[in-house]
């Protein structure tokens, strides 16, 4: 079974702090994604990566950056956390290099609260 | 603009009853449509996937239908169980590699 793990289930940070969210997948997937999920808005794509050291902006990249130094690991960075970044953060991975968009496998999520 | 809408926003049903969730989309061109189930505090898990040429796909008590002409899909749950309580998310993919658009989800509560 595909397993996607996230470093923390719950996180509380103060405004202005630098926050690192880590995601690891064990299925050798090429693609990795970071989403945030807010009530009534659904999942919104922050950043994604198709390969090591490669990243592309999603729909809401402002205030975030990412790092993919190894194929299995994709990190989301909040350079200076703000209260409007309080949210559930979900990481996902999928097979790449296919014609059809493939199923994304999600981690359990990190609920981040910025006070 | 590519959009995915779902209805109802939330639903409460009695255990053992059937229900149908709706998904309307304007994504074009269209590649495939998935329904995900998201339990509280967990990440979404895929239930079904349908391509343009498929009308119906079943997974146990879950049956998804797709009308590509009207750009509508439904998820029918038969003989609901308490464990069906979750958010159900409709996700539509465009041919561009792994470009997906998520609907806002329908929150289903099954009560005894």
- Predicted pLDDT at B56: 94
Question: What integer pLDDT is reported at residue B41 of this predicted model?
Answer: 85
DSSP letters for B41-108: TS--EEEEEEETT--EEEETTEEEEEETTTTEEEEEE-S--GGG-EEEEEEEEETTTTEEEE---EEE
Q: Which residues of B14-27 are buried (b: 16+ CB within 10 A; e: fewer)?
A: eeeeebebebbbeb
Q: Which stretch, A25-34, B32-41, B79-88, has highest mean pLDDT?
A: B79-88
Grouped pLDDT means (10 residues each) for chain A, 115 residues = 88 97 94 92 91 91 96 96 97 75 88 97
Cα gap B83→A57, rounded to integer Å: 36
User: Which chain B residues touch A if contact means CB-CB below 8 Å?
Assistant: 4, 9, 31-32, 34, 41-46, 49, 51, 89, 93-95, 97-100, 102-105
Contacts of B69 (CB under 8 A, 6+ apart): none
Confidence bin at B27 (pLDDT 50/70/90): confident
Which pLDDT value is given to residue B29? Answer: 77
The answer to whether the beta carbons of residues A103 and A29 sit under 8 Å apart is no
Residue B65: which pLDDT band, with cuts at 50, 70 and 90?
A: very high
- Contact criterion met (CB < 8 Å) for B44 and A101: no
8-state DSSP, A64 = E
Can you name the residues that pair with B57 across neighbouring β-strands? B64
Q: Is there a contact between B89 and A43 if contact means CB atoms under 8 Å apart?
A: yes
Chain B contact set for A92 (CB, 8 A):
43
Cα B93 to Cα A102: distance, rounded to the nearest angstrom: 9
Residue bearing the bigger pLDDT, B51 or A13:
A13
Chain A residues touching residue B100 (CB < 8 angstroms):
101, 104
Which pLDDT does position B97 carry in this prediction? Answer: 56
The confidence score (pLDDT) of residue B51 equals 86
Per-residue pLDDT at A63 = 96
Buried b / exposed e along B52-86 (16+ C-beta atoms within 10 A):
eeeeebeeeebbbbbebeebebbbebeebeeebbb
């Amino acid at each position: 079974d595909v397993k996607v793990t996230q470093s923390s289930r719950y996180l509380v940070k103060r405004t202005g702090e630098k926050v690192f969210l880590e995601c690891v997948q064990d299925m050798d997937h090429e693609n990795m994604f970071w989403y945030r999920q807010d009530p009534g808005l659904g999942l919104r794509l922050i950043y994604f990566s198709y390969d090591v050291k490669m990243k592309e902006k999603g729909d809401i990249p402002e205030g975030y950056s990412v790092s993919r130094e190894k194929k299995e690991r994709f990190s989301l960075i909040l350079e200076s956390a703000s209260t409007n970044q309080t949210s559930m953060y979900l990481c996902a991975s999928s097979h790449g290099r296919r014609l059809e968009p493939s199923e994304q496998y999600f981690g359990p999520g990190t609920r981040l609260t910025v006070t | 603009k590519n959009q995915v809408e779902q209805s109802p926003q939330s639903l409460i049903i009695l255990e053992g009853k059937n229900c149908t969730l709706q998904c309307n989309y304007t994504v074009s061109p269209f590649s495939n449509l998935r329904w995900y189930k998201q339990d509280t505090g967990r990440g979404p898990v895929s239930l079904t996937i349908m391509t343009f040429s498929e009308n119906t796909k079943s997974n146990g008590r879950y049956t998804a239908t797709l009308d590509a002409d009207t750009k509508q899909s439904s998820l029918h749950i038969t003989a609901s169980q308490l464990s069906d309580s979750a958010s159900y998310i409709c996700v539509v993919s465009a041919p561009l590699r792994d470009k997906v658009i998520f609907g806002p989800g329908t929150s289903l509560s099954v009560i005894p």
